[in-house]
């Protein structure tokens, strides 16, 4: 598939690690949840792996929690996150300019995030960016709808029927693989991380350093 920016009309965007640096709030919320579960949390920098993937999967993968304990940990996480961690975030460089450019060109920004929809909207509103989005699709609070492929599929309902007019932009392999599962193109964005190899292996059609660079393709 060829990535033709002139043809692209709908731009699906991941949130955590892509549009916003939410690591401070997420890692502090994870540490709180671990303490509540009786686990001594490691340094916050070692919990950055929780940024992006579904929380339940990460608690199981990195701390060996059972499905039941992962559910409890997620509840503790959200207890702290809703009151504090949610607001401990910032937009990455170039993001607002990119969102505005997309809208000025008559294209559409559509959020597709593994963060629960109410949290995603609150974060974007807090950062003054919610009104830049045509639609917001996130996960549910249950495990029934937290896989990236399913979230992207829901986001596509807001887009046209021509999949060649749609691209997914994200920072993790979940975003790229989820795009492939839905038959759309994908762009990986690094934002100063060490994820280039991960994005290359997943098969992103394009990888950019940040949204300032991505904006040059739109222009």
Rg (CA), the chain: 17
DSSP 16: B
Q: By the 8 A CB rule, do 16 and 115 touch? A: yes
In three-state secondary structure terms, 65 is coil
Question: Does the annotation count 16 as an active-site position?
Answer: no
Q: By the 8 A CB rule, do 136 and 121 touch? A: yes
Tell which phi-psi region holds residue 52, choosing left (phi > 0), alpha (psi between -120 and 50) or beta: left
DSSP 41: -
Q: By the 8 A CB rule, do 190 and 199 touch? A: yes
- Lookup result for tokens 């608690």: 59
Name the catalytic one among 14, 16, 150, 175.
14
The candidate with the shortest Cα–Cα distance to 122, out of 51, 111, 151, is 111
- Lookup result for tokens 């559509």: 110
**Residues involved in catalysis:** 14
């Amino acid at each position: 598939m060829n990535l033709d920016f002139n043809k692209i009309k709908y731009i699906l965007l991941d949130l955590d690690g892509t549009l916003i640096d939410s690591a401070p709030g997420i890692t502090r919320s994870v540490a709180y949840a671990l303490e509540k579960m009786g686990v001594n949390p490691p340094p916050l920098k070692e919990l950055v792996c929780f940024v992006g993937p579904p929380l339940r999967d990460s608690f199981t993968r990195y701390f060996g929690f059972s499905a039941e304990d992962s559910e409890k940990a997620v509840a503790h996480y959200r207890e702290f996150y809703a009151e504090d961690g949610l607001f401990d975030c910032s937009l990455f460089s170039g993001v607002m300019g990119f969102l505005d450019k997309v809208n000025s060109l008559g294209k559409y920004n559509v959020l597709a995030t593994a963060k629960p929809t109410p949290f995603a909207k609150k974060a974007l509103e807090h950062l003054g960016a919610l009104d830049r989005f045509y639609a917001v699709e996130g996960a549910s609070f249950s495990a029934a709808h937290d896989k990236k492929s399913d979230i992207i599929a829901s986001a596509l309902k807001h887009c046209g029927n021509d999949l060649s007019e749609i691209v997914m932009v994200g920072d993790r392999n979940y975003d790229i693989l989820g795009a492939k599962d839905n038959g759309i193109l994908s762009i990986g964005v690094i934002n100063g991380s060490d994820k280039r190899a991960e994005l290359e292996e997943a098969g992103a059609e394009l990888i950019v350093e940040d949204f300032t660079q991505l904006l040059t393709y739109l222009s």
